[in-house]
């Protein structure tokens, strides 16, 4: 139950980044109504690396999408960084995502027609930065993920691990408050997956990024500072991971 | 505002850049639109050609006088004296004692078409000595002028091209008589090129027309003299005539045929265009479907719906533009200057003309293609912008 998550990690209000209260999410599938999330409460402090686990259909990706402003709850409120995002218009929500959220996808979701640098530069096109500044920042982000030597390469010319690192560079290039990773190692071999997890851990520890990661992989979850389990739309347990401290 | 434009530009750039990945369906939509435009431009160029032929028949300062109430030379009739009085009216250009005017009559003979061998009505015009000066651009291209009083004819280049037995040296059977072709003329593409000319008195005798005519064609001293000329004739109690500039007359003559062909061409284009819209819709739905995750990713990153709609529409419009240009180009290559003949509804005689694929028609074809592209892209664009992001991100 959600109280578990709250009780185990009480946080002062100032340190609270994500505040999910009483969230329901209902989908209509034809005439059938599917309750994906039910009365969910979740608080995530700044600087946390949270892993969300659970069986397929448990609602973990839906929760991630709600916190990232990619979807809206049927009931309840979602506040991120003091901003009530479930009340924002589509236009404002798009702007909010551009400024505050970095997204990392299981299948990388890079633009095949763009080079690594241009892919990373993509979110910066929504800012007022000059072309020169955008280029500089994109190159810095790629340097952080260890891909300085792949700036001009296209996705098809890179390995899965490199593509995912490009995806992470794209997610951090705007210096967002929150990084949301949907099974970031799900499409990678163990070695590449470990490298991605090392990178996420470093971003969390060294740059203080708050990360929420959905995963099926216990080894990946162990890198997080906290792991929450969902089942049938409800939080059932919470545990500290090895990523703590 | 600037950022919105930047977003539109960038998203559109991805959309266009990804076109080669959908080459097959894109090409098929483009060629479909090209076909529609080619047919539309081709059919409408017939109407344009007919209009051009009629317009080029009219001299700037030329007038035609018919009997009052007659709409065409076929239904007109003027007595010899009446026709003579018309040529004496003020305002007609003169060369010494000669007025630049021609009293004319008009009959039909049958000649077999070269293309099909079937008989068609060919207009034979009895003209007077100044007829060649009244027609702007008249020039003998072969042979010589007929001699007044002799059973000799000259034929227009269009008639020579379209009909058997109408070449220089051939002989036309007119009633029981044989009239040799002694010359071939052109008039700068005008209607007269479809005609056979003979001395007016010879035609009057052959068809027992006495001293009657059907029209008087004349050149005025200047275009501004028309009112003076018209007033003099219409106020003369001895005459009951209708006075028009040649431009007015031929415009009226071609209007029915022009409207018929334009209407038919537009109808065909609309029906084919509807098919092409469905083709474009299919292509763009496929394009949007194959880019669902890409579009959703852009929206997830913060790109708004507007740029997504514009990008899909731009892709559709680009395909349509290319299709329009290809179709218009094909029509121009295939049809421009192509010679054809049709029935002149006003005289029920054959008229020859050249298909006229002109700039306004090409632009019309391309605009039509863009309309097809717009409607073909609109609904897929709206779909792309409205698909829930979270749902679309899961699409493979």
ipTM for the complex shown: 0.89
Q: Which residues constitute the domain of residue A165?
A: 48-69+90-240
Res. B171 pLDDT band, cuts 50 70 90: very high
Q: Is the residue at A78 inside a domain?
A: no
Cα separation, B390 vs A182, whole angstroms: 11
Do A192 and A184 touch, CB atoms closer than 8 A? no
In the prediction, which pLDDT does A8 show?
A: 44
Which range among B105-114, B246-255, B326-335 shows the weakest confidence by mean pLDDT? B246-255
Residue predicted with more confidence, B313 or B143: B143
A138 part of a folded domain: yes
pLDDT at B46: 83
Residue B344: pLDDT over 70: no
pLDDT digits over B356-376, tens only?
888 999 999 999 999 998 988
Instruction: Give Cβ neighbours of residue A131 (< 8 Å, ≥ 6 apart).
Output: none
Integer CA distances (angstroms), B83 to B66, B79, B113, B129, in order = 9, 6, 34, 15
Please check whether residue A27 lies inside any domain of the structure: no
Residues 250-309 (B) with a CB less than 8 A from some CB of A: 293-294, 297-305
pLDDT digit string, tens, across residues B232-241: 998 888 888 9
**Residue A98: which of B297, B302, B396 has the nearest Cβ?**
B302
Q: What is the pLDDT of residue B351?
A: 63
3 state DSSP class of A135: helix
Q: Is residue A170 part of a domain?
A: yes
Structure confidence at residue A238 (pLDDT): 62
Q: Beta-carbon neighbour count of residue A54 at 10 Å?
A: 23
Which among B6, B17, B302 has the least Cβ separation from residue A97? B302
Within 8 A of A103 by CB-CB distance, chain B residues are: 300-301
Q: What is the pLDDT of residue B29?
A: 84
- For the ranges A155-169, B3-17, B43-57, B262-276, the one whose mean pLDDT is highest: A155-169
Distance, in Å, from the CA atom of B334 to the CA atom of B355, rounded to the nearest integer, reads 10
Whether residue B17 is predicted with pLDDT greater than 90 in this model: the reply is no
Task: Please compute the mean of the pLDDT values over residues B308-336 and round it to a whole number.
Answer: 89
A24 assigned to some structural domain:
no
- At A9-51, the pLDDT tens digits run 444 556 899 999 999 999 888 888 889 999 999 999 999 999 9
The tally of domains found in chain A comes to 1
Share of chain B above pLDDT 90, in %: 31
More confident residue, A100 or B391: A100
DSSP-assigned beta bridge partners for residue A49:
A211
What is the pairing mode between strands A210-214 and A49-53? parallel
Asked if the model's pLDDT at residue B56 lies above 90, the reply is: no
Output the average pLDDT for chain B.
Answer: 86
Kindly state whether residue A225 falls inside one of the protein's structural domains.
yes
Query: Per the domain annotation, does A5 fall within a domain?
Result: no
CATH number of the CATH domain containing A198: 3.40.50.300
Which of B294, B301, B389 minimises the CB distance to A123? B301
Residue A84 in any domain: the answer is no
pLDDT at A7 exceeding the cut of 50: no
- How much is the pLDDT for A67? 96
Q: Give the C-alpha separation, B267 to B44, whole Å.
A: 11
């Amino acid at each position: 139950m959600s109280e578990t998550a709250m009780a185990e990690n009480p946080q002062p209000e100032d340190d609270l980044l994500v505040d999910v209260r009483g969230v329901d999410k209902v989908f209509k599938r034809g005439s059938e109504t599917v309750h994906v999330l039910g009365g969910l409460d979740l608080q995530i402090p700044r600087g946390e690396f949270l892993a969300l686990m659970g069986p397929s259909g448990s609602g973990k990706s839906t929760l991630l999408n709600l916190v990232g402003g990619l979807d809206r709850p049927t009931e309840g409120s979602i506040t991120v960084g003091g901003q009530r995002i479930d009340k924002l218009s589509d236009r404002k929500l798009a702007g909010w995502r551009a400024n505050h959220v970095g997204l990392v996808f299981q299948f990388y979701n890079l633009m095949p027609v763009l080079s690594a640098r241009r892919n990373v530069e993509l979110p910066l096109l929504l800012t007022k930065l000059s072309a020169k500044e955008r280029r500089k920042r994109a190159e810095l982000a790629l340097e952080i993920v260890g891909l300085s030597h792949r700036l001009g390469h296209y996705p098809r010319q890179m390995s899965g691990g490199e593509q995912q690192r490009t995806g992470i560079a794209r997610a951090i290039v705007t210096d967002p408050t929150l990084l949301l990773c949907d099974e970031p190692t799900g499409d990678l071999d163990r070695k590449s997956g470990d490298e991605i997890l090392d990178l996420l851990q470093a971003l969390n520890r060294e740059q203080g990024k708050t990360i929420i990661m959905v995963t099926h992989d216990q080894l990946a979850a162990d890198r997080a500072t906290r792991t929450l389990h969902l089942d049938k739309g409800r939080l059932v347990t919470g545990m500290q991971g090895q990523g703590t401290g | 505002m600037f950022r919105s434009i930047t977003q539109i530009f960038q998203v559109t750039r991805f959309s266009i850049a990804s076109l080669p990945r959908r080459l097959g369906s894109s090409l098929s939509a483009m060629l479909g639109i090209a076909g529609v435009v080619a047919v539309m431009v081709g059919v409408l160029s017939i109407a344009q050609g007919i209009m051009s032929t009629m317009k080029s028949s009219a001299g700037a300062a030329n007038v035609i006088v018919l009997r009052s109430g007659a709409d065409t030379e076929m239904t007109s009739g003027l007595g010899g004296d009446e026709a003579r009085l018309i040529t004496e009216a003020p305002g007609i250009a003169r060369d010494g004692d000669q007025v630049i005017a021609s009293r004319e009559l008009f009959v039909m003979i049958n000649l077999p078409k070269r293309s099909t061998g079937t008989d068609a009505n060919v207009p034979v015009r009895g003209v007077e000595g100044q007829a060649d000066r009244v027609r702007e651009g008249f020039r003998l291209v072969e042979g010589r002028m007929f001699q007044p009083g002799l059973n000799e004819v000259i034929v227009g280049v269009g008639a020579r091209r379209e009909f058997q037995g109408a070449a220089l040296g051939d002989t036309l059977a007119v009633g029981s008589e044989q009239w040799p072709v002694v010359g071939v003329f052109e008039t700068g593409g005008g209607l007269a090129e479809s005609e056979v000319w003979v001395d007016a008195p010879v035609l009057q005798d052959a068809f027992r027309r006495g001293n009657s005519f059907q029209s008087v064609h004349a050149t005025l001293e200047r275009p501004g003299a028309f009112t003076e000329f018209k007033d003099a004739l219409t106020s003369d109690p001895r005459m009951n005539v209708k006075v028009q500039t040649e431009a007015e007359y031929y415009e009226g003559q071609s209007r029915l045929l022009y409207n018929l062909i334009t209407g038919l061409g537009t109808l065909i284009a609309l029906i084919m265009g509807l098919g092409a819209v469905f083709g474009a819709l299919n292509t763009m739905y496929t394009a949007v479907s194959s880019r669902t995750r890409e579009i959703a990713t852009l929206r997830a990153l913060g790109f708004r719906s507007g740029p997504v709609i514009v990008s899909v529409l731009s892709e559709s419009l680009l395909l349509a533009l290319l299709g329009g240009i290809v179709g218009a180009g094909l029509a121009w290559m295939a049809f421009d200057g192509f010679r054809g003949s049709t029935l002149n509804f006003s005289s029920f005689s054959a008229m020859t003309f050249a298909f006229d694929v002109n700039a306004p028609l090409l632009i019309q074809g391309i605009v039509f293609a863009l309309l097809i592209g717009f409607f073909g892209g609109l609904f897929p664009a709206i779909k792309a912008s409205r698909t829930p992001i979270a749902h679309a991100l899961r699409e493979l």
